[in-house]
Amino acid sequence: MKRMLALLLTAVMTVALILPVSALAVNDDLDDPDDGLVSQNEAYDDLMNDGPADVPEVIGSSYILYDAQSGAILMGRNIDYQVQPAAITKLMTVLLAMENLDLDDTITITQPMYIGVPENYFTLGATEGEIVTIRDLVYAALLESDSDACLALAIAVSGAESLFTGLMNQRASELGCTHTFFTNCYGNDDVSNLSTAHDMALILDACTDHQDFVDISTTFQHTMLGTNLYSDSRLISNANKFISTQEYSYDYYAGGLTAYSDGVGYSIAAAANKNGRKLVGIILGATDTYGRYNDMIELFDSGYSSFSTLPIDQGEFMPLYNDTIEQINSALLGTELAVMEASMDLSPYITTTTARVSLGSTNTVDLSQVIIDTSSTENQDFRIPILRAFNDGKTYIVGVLNIQVGTKDNLVPINPEKRSIWSTLKTALVTLIVILVLLIILVYSLIIFRRKARKRAAREFRNKNKML
């Protein structure tokens, strides 16, 4: 019995060590742009030209509907056409303020924070020497499009607007914006800010990753309490019709801004979040202030109904991974070569039409470009496209299989470097179940052991009494 208990305890301790080791195998950087992943936007066909026939007719010089999960462009026109973004510029200013400042901190207003703002622009009306919170300035920038609030935020971050615009351009580049150039922090029409529907979608996507941005930009009205110079409170009301009206209310609206300029017309940037799926829409140069809201709602509705975004589970691709390695090794029989190392890099999501998803799909690899030199003793590296082929003939690249072929003398065991979160959780769950079963066995064994010990003691006691 003692030997059995010792074995059980050893088993429990051994199994318990598996859990942290398994957790370390998870790699969450599957969407890191530096890891060499093949984006869905490099698919064999462009999704914008492959959407449903009933794409909404958008009144604007350019527009885009962008899926934030997969990075797919669902619909659009002139998405890289440069125009003045006007007040939508404020999105980048607010983003940098949230990334560099504490919303609960205060600043003291100085003249450079409001001097120079044209008279016909919306302003909060903060004055020199007034102490205000960063949060109130963000509310003023997003709800009322107050230009002095943006200028104050810019100077609070960088000390001067000229330095801040440099930071704006740097951050735009980091987000993947390739046609954006800022020289002003709030969208002065007399200054040559330039951007595109595609670039502004990337900026709004980054903004809505901040819950504070979503909470603030979807607020109906904010009360700014009295300050050191003004005892009365100020009401900051949301001018966005998605929030301020019933007619254009949209249940899934997740924040954004509107703009107008004489040269471009009416513009709108809006995000929606439905069941965790975020879509970002930009319309630039609309001819009607109300039409842009109607068009944006139609874009969102069409995006959610006509397109589906699916998560990609690495565990689903493991059979294909193993079969491909076996296939390559079989082709190398009779040579001194074999697969030495292998790993998979997969995009986290794929987006395609809902009708296509309903038809089903299969996963394959493209081995057409894999040409192995069997006379070489040097390691040979291959990046093999991993494909999802839908049953209507459409094929998307969803990742790459990294294979290294070398001489058998250096052969090492092959294990995928990355595991899906589900496979790791499954391993952890099995581990916990095993531990619980072993513990139950241990407790049950102890109970049986104690019962037998008591019976043996009672029997010995009775025998002793009989002897007496």
Question: Tens digit of pLDDT for each residue in 30-53?
Answer: 334 344 333 444 444 467 777 677
φ/ψ of residue 159, rounded to 5: 95, -25
The answer to whether residue 50 is domain-embedded is no
Do 390 and 460 lie in one domain? The reply is: no
Burial class of 300 by CB neighbour count within 10 A (0 to 12, 13 to 18, 19+): buried
pLDDT for 461: 62
Looking at this protein, which amino acid is placed at residue 18?
Answer: I
* Domain ranges, residue 141: 57-309
One domain, residues 117 and 160: yes
The two structure tokens encoding residue 211: 């819950």
Among residues 309, 325, 348, the one where a domain terminates is: 309
Q: So what's the pLDDT on residue 65?
A: 96
Note whether residue 49 is domain-resident: no
In angstroms and rounded to an integer, the radius of gyration of the C-alpha atoms of the chain is: 31
Whether 201 and 322 share a structural domain: no
A 10 A CB-CB count for 352 gives 26
One-letter identity of residue 97: A
Choose one of 309, 342, 377: the last residue of a domain: 309
Looking at the domain assignment, is residue 46 inside a domain?
no
Question: In this structure, is residue 93 part of a structural domain?
Answer: yes
Do 97 and 9 reside in the same domain of the chain? no
Which of the listed residues 388, 403, 418 is the one where a domain comes to its end? 418
In a domain, 117, yes or no: yes
Shared domain check, 362 and 289 = no
Statement to judge: residues 404 and 282 lie in one domain: no
> Are residues 250 and 265 both part of a single domain?
yes
Q: Residues 104, 201: one domain?
A: yes
Q: CB–CB of 141/94 below 8 Å? A: yes
Query: Tell me, what CATH number does 329's domain have?
Result: 3.10.129
Q: Mind listing the pLDDT tens digit of every residue in the chain (468 residues)?
A: 444 444 443 443 333 333 222 222 222 333 343 443 334 444 444 677 776 777 889 999 999 999 999 999 999 999 999 999 999 999 999 999 999 999 999 999 999 999 989 988 999 999 999 999 999 999 999 999 999 999 999 999 999 999 999 999 999 999 999 999 999 999 998 888 999 999 999 999 999 999 999 999 999 999 999 999 999 999 999 999 999 999 999 999 999 999 999 889 999 999 999 999 999 999 999 999 999 999 999 999 999 999 999 999 999 999 999 999 999 999 999 899 999 999 999 999 999 999 999 999 999 998 988 999 988 889 999 999 999 999 998 888 999 999 999 998 755 444 444 445 555 566 677 778 878 888 888 778 778 877 877 777 767 666 655 555
Domain count, the chain: 3
CB contact set of 81 (below 8 Å; sequence gap of 6+): 61, 62, 196, 197, 284
In a domain, 150, yes or no: yes
Q: Please report, in angstroms and rounded to a whole number, the separation of the first and last CA atoms in the chain.
A: 32
197 in the same domain as 139? yes
Q: Residue 410 has what pLDDT?
A: 54
pLDDT tens profile 269-328: 999 999 999 999 999 999 999 999 999 999 999 999 999 999 999 999 999 999 999 999
Do 163 and 287 lie in a common domain?
A: yes
